[in-house]
């Protein structure tokens, strides 16, 4: 099954770009991470990496082409072992069933074949083989499907008697959608199989997904389907941190800096990751990457979704610097003006829903990272201090850990370090 | 109490009456409102009567060339009144045909000026009397009319629109045709074949500007060879009726202005949609540059109001209107019709030689980002064309290089208006070059050139 590579969105605002240079040619074998092409946006020239293994079958957009819209197919990757040149001939009848090799691959069930819902009264062509297995499709649709690596049996045809026509393929998301396109190894599936638009029978509006929404869908599905999460929750007293914040803000006022609780938590997470380096890691198939720097991705909510700008080397930065940097990143994130390197990467994430009154939650790990800290609301709670019931400002923090890379005990040590830093905040300033 | 219907169609041209018949087939109680003649411009004052005239000029052309076929004709001549009478007779026959179709399909016909007076309400005014109609849905199919020049109103004396040109009070001797679209070129061809001296001016840099540039170039040469004076990049600035003729100020391609004399002038500079006085403003029906804006099922921005045909914009063709009528009615009846694909609407010009095309021109295909394969086959390579004595013309095909999709076909030559449907079916069925190459075409026919043109695009031409 071939994989269609589409023009990537290399920045949140990118709508189109120039295909500056191809770094591969038809026949080249590429593996995940290899550079495919140089792509020029209005801001910069960036390298575009392969995320799949395969052989370049066909270049669809030639070098120097300007104004290539994001999402436009730019080349076709054939899977290894597949003849790169062997696009099935147009006349070949659609496969009645998945070939054995494909069937053996572990994969979620594809969208249930909704081939041509044979309407009552449809007269099967005399020569039609075995009735229902015949997929009705126009010659052009067959050819396009072959080129895109789409199984026609999974496409809902809008032509007469459910015939698949060109327009039906325009909306299919081949490389993103067909599970069969996923490599057999541990490589993550590309995206949830698109549930083809169906008559749901409920009044609704069908809104086309934005690129950001597609990325979110793909990454979160990848995370929940391939990363075994464990969740560890601690309650943390905030009183000392709030007091320190007040004191710091009073002295920082002259510099125009106002620390938020979140700024301090970024610092706390970074320092605790440095203290428990077993949690500052990344699972990478055969290897484990152990980072010697803590870069914290901070979830920033946008009207159209979410983005995670990164505070690089946050443990080494002063809280005032973190605060200033975070303010700038958040503003530019909301304006859609972050450069890719400002939101791609990071060694762990922080997601804070406290301001929305959420008591406690479990966040989805942001792959390929191995942990994310979910912060709940700081609230006054009855709290046992020195064996007596008192009132304290407490928040619940929950770490989600990639259990392939991080053992529960190490995760627990990180949570404990984090709690200690927040409860005795001078420790993180030292 | 208003007469109650499921659907009212305003206008009975090829869009409106077809919509009414389809509505009736689907069980809708349907009314149609017409201010003039059933069948609209198309069969009363457009497509059909001009074809009758052009048939006359074609036969006349052959009579003058009888010797070429081994025949002798003594002094070919014509009687203009009889020529016009035949054309009017054809129009009348078809008009009666539509009357019969309305009856057969139980469509109630109201004659008069229709005006939408509110949601689902329409009044028909005739001779001071008003009839009120009501329906859940209304289809606007009011068509279009000829555009006037800003400096000269067509008066039917010496300044003609298509209507006078179809029923000329006298035979022009020295005719100026302004505009080289299908209408201008067809009349130019008719009057040229009938013996008038014909000059055609076109503002744009080529005639038949919607066609492929190779077709325009070919037609420029062919019409010039027939004795016409064809002037692209030329504009008329002023027209004066001198009583004896027409004096026209013409700005040529070189930018120089000269005054020239003609006997008559035909104005064929486009059309204006008929959107006035039908109640659109009060309902807030959205228009853009005069044309009603519709969605893929021909629905306007106002619930229950649909619009089809010329009044909704290009291409201004009867068959486009008819097809939109079907789409609108099927949508109203709760079916899910496919949206009109404008790239699958063929266009025909019945000059001599004929022009027909469908889909993208080569230039437009490239503009749209396709890398193309182009095939071309000349009439001189076709046995039937030579036998007919019609060896001028060609068939050009444009394919997407990557997918083999047939993007467009462009033809000029004898009978090509009857051939284009082959490619249109191919496009609608989404055939690629493979199916067209495998198709067996009958011999000897002009259609073999359609095959050869496809073969040519893939370097496989047999007969050239």
Q: What is the pLDDT at residue A44?
A: 65
Alpha helix positions (H), B286-431: 318-332, 362-367, 383-388, 416-428
CA-CA distance, A254 to A252, in Å (whole number)? 5
A16-22: strand order across its sheet: A45-49, A35-40, A16-22, A68-69
Which residues, other chains included, contact B258 with Cβ-Cβ below 8 Å and sequence gap of 6+?
A: B249, B250, B252
Contact B429 A90 (CB under 8 A): no
Place of tokens 């228009």: B287
Contact B405 A165 (CB under 8 A): no
Per-residue pLDDT averaged across B369-394, rounded? 97
Mean pLDDT score of chain B:
96
Lowest-confidence region among A79-88, A173-182, B348-357: A173-182
Q: Is the ipTM of this complex over 0.90?
A: no
Residues of chain B with Cβ-Cβ distance to A147 below 8 Å are 402-403
Contact A143 B404 (CB under 8 A): yes
What domains can you pick out in chain B, each with its CATH number?
Answer: 3-145+272-342 (3.50.50.60), 159-269 (3.50.50.60), 353-457 (3.30.390.30)
Residues of chain B with Cβ-Cβ distance to A166 below 8 Å are 405, 430
Which residues, other chains included, contact B13 with Cβ-Cβ below 8 Å and sequence gap of 6+?
A: B39, B40, B41, B42, B141, B143, B309, B310, B318, B321
| Rounded percentage of chain B residues whose pLDDT exceeds 70 | 100
Residues B236-270 pLDDT 10s: 999 999 999 999 999 999 999 999 999 999 999 99
B51 is in an annotated binding site: yes
Distance in Å, alpha carbon of B451 to nearest chain A alpha carbon: 18
Maximum Cα interatomic distance, chain B, rounded to a whole number of Å? 71
Contact A139 B429 (CB under 8 A): yes
Residues A203-262 pLDDT 10s: 888 887 777 787 788 888 889 999 999 999 999 999 999 999 999 999 888 888 899 999
Distance in Å, alpha carbon of A201 to nearest chain B alpha carbon: 14
Specify the CATH superfamily of domain A228-429: Chloramphenicol acetyltransferase-like domain (3.30.559.10)
Considering CB atoms only, which of A60, A139, A158 is closest to B432? A139
Burial B293-332 (b: 16+ CB within 10 A, else e): ebeebbbbebebbbbbbbbbbeebbbbbbbbbbbbbbbbb
Peptide bond into A10 cis (omega under 30): no
Residues A94-145 pLDDT 10s: 444 333 333 333 344 444 443 434 333 333 333 434 445 678 999 999 998 8
Lowest-confidence region among A12-26, A150-164, A367-381, B195-209: A12-26
Delimit the domains of chain A by residue range. Answer: 3-95+132-198+205-220, 228-429
Which residues, other chains included, contact B311 with Cβ-Cβ below 8 Å and sequence gap of 6+?
A: B11, B140, B141, B142, B143, B144, B273, B274, B275, B291, B292
Residues of chain A with Cβ-Cβ distance to B431 below 8 Å are 138-140
pLDDT band at A343, cuts 50/70/90?
A: confident
Q: What is the pLDDT at residue A32?
A: 77
| Rounded percentage of chain A residues whose pLDDT exceeds 90 | 37
Contact A139 B431 (CB under 8 A): yes
Lowest-confidence region among A306-320, A335-349, B164-178, B322-336: A335-349
Q: What is the pLDDT at residue A198?
A: 54
DSSP A112: P
Indicate which residues of A carry an active-site annotation: 403
Contact A60 B402 (CB under 8 A): yes
Q: Is residue A194 over pLDDT 60?
A: no
Interface of chain A against chain B, CB under 8 Å? 60, 90-91, 138-141, 143-144, 147, 158-159, 165-166
Ranges assigned E (strand) in B106-209: 108-111, 113-118, 121-126, 129-140, 144-146, 159-160, 174-178, 197-201
pLDDT band at B282, cuts 50/70/90?
A: very high
The model's pTM: 0.60
Lowest-confidence region among A142-146, A173-177, A303-307, B185-189: A173-177
B181 is in an annotated binding site: yes
Greater confidence, A18 or B10? B10
Q: Which fold has domain A3-95+132-198+205-220?
A: OB fold (Dihydrolipoamide Acetyltransferase, E2P) (2.40.50)
Considering CB atoms only, which of A60, A147, A158 is closest to B338? A158
Within 380-419 of B, beta carbons closer than 8 Å to A belong to 402-405
Q: Is residue A17 over pLDDT 70?
A: yes
Closest CA to A54 of A34, A79, A32: A79
């Amino acid at each position: 099954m071939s994989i269609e590579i589409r023009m990537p969105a290399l920045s949140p605002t990118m709508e189109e770009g120039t295909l500056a240079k191809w770094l591969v040619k038809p026949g080249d074998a590429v593996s995940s991470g290899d550079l495919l092409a140089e792509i020029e946006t209005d801001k910069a020239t960036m390298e575009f990496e392969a995320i799949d293994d395969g052989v370049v079958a066909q270049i669809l957009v030639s070098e120097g082409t300007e104004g290539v819209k994001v999402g436009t197919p730019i080349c076709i990757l054939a899977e290894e072992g597949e003849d790169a040149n062997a696009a099935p001939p147009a006349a070949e009848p659609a496969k009645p069933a998945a070939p054995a090799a494909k069937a053996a691959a572990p994969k979620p069930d594809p969208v249930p074949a909704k081939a041509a819902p044979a309407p009552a009264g449809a007269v099967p062509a005399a020569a039609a083989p075995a009735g229902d297995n015949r997929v009705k499709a126009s010659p052009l649709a067959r050819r396009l499907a072959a080129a895109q690596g789409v199984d026609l049996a999974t496409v809902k045809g809008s032509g007469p008697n459910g015939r698949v026509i060109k327009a039906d393929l325009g909306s299919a998301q081949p490389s993103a959608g067909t599970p069969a396109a996923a490599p057999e190894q541990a490589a993550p599936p590309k995206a949830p199989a698109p549930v083809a638009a169906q008559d749901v029978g409920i009044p609704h509006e069908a809104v086309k997904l934005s690129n950001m929404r597609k990325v979110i869908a793909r990454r979160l599905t990848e995370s929940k389907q391939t990363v075994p999460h464990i969740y560890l929750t601690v309650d943390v007293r905030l009183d000392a941190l709030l007091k320190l914040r007040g004191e710091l803000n009073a002295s920082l006022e002259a510099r125009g800096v106002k620390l938020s609780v979140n700024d301090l938590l970024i610092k706390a997470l970074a320092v605790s990751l440095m203290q428990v380096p077993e949690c500052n890691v990344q699972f990478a198939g055969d290897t484990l990457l152990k980072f010697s720097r803590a870069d914290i991705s901070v979830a920033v909510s946008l009207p159209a979704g979410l983005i995670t700008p990164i505070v690089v080397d946050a443990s080494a930065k002063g809280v005032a610097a973190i605060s200033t940097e975070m303010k700038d990143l958040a503003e530019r994130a909301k304006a859609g003006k972050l450069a890719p390197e400002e939101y791609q990467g990071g060694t762990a994430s922080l997601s804070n829903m406290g301001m929305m009154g959420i008591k406690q939650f479990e966040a989805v790990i942001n792959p390929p990272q191995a942990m994310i800290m979910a912060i709940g609301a700081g609230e006054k709670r009855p709290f046992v201090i020195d064996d007596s019931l008192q009132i304290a400002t407490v928040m619940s923090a929950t770490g989600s850990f990639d259990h392939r890379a991080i053992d529960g005990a190490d995760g627990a040590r990180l949570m404990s370090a984090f709690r200690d830093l927040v409860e005795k905040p001078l420790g993180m300033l030292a | 109490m208003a007469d109650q219907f499921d659907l009212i169609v305003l206008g009975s041209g090829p869009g409106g009456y077809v919509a009414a018949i389809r509505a009736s087939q689907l069980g809708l109680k349907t009314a149609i409102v017409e201010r003039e003649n059933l069948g609209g411009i198309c069969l009363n004052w457009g497509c059909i009567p001009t074809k009758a005239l052009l048939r006359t000029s074609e036969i006349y052309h052959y009579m003058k060339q009888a010797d070429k076929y081994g025949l002798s004709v003594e002094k070919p001549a014509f009687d203009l009144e009889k020529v016009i009478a035949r054309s009017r007779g054809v129009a009348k026959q078809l008009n009666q045909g539509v009357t019969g179709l309305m009856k057969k399909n139980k469509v109630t016909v109201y004659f008069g000026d229709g005006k939408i007076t509110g949601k689902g309400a329409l009044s028909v005014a005739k001779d001071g009397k008003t009839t009120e109609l009501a329906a859940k849905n209304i289809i606007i199919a009011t068509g279009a009319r000829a555009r006037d020049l800003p400096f000269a109103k067509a008066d039917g004396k010496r300044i003609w629109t298509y209507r006078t040109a179809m029923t000329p009070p006298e035979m022009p001797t020295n005719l100026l045709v302004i505009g080289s679209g299908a209408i201008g070129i067809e009349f130019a061809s008719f009057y040229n074949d009938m013996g008038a001296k014909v000059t055609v001016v076109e503002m744009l840099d080529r005639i038949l500007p919607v066609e492929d540039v190779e077709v325009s170039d070919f037609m420029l040469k062919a019409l010039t060879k027939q004795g016409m004076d064809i002037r692209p990049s030329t504009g008329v600035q002023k027209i004066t009726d001198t009583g004896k003729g027409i004096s026209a100020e013409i700005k040529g391609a070189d930018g120089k202005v000269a005054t020239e004399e003609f006997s008559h002038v035909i104005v064929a500079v486009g059309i204006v949609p008929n959107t006035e006085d039908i109640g659109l403003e009060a309902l807030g029906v959205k228009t853009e540059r005069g044309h009603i804006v519709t969605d893929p099922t021909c629905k306007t921005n106002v619930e229950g109001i649909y619009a089809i045909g010329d009044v909704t914009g290009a291409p201004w063709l009867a068959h486009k209107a008819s097809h939109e009528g079907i789409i609108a009615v099927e949508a109203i009846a709760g079916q899910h019709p496919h949206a009109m694909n404008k790239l699958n609407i063929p266009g025909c010009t019945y000059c001599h030689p004929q022009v027909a095309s469908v889909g993208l021109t080569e230039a437009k295909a490239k503009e749209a980002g396709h890398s193309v394969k182009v095939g071309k086959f000349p009439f001189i390579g076709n046995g039937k064309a030579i036998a007919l004595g019609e060896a001028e013309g060609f068939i050009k095909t444009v394919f997407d290089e990557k997918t083999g999709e047939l993007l467009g076909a462009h033809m000029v030559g004898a009978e090509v208006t009857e051939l284009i449907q082959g490619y249109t079916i191919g496009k609608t069925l989404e055939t690629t070059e493979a199916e067209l190459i495998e198709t067996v075409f009958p011999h000897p026919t002009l259609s073999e050139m359609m095959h050869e043109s496809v073969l040519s695009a893939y370097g496989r031409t047999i007969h050239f």
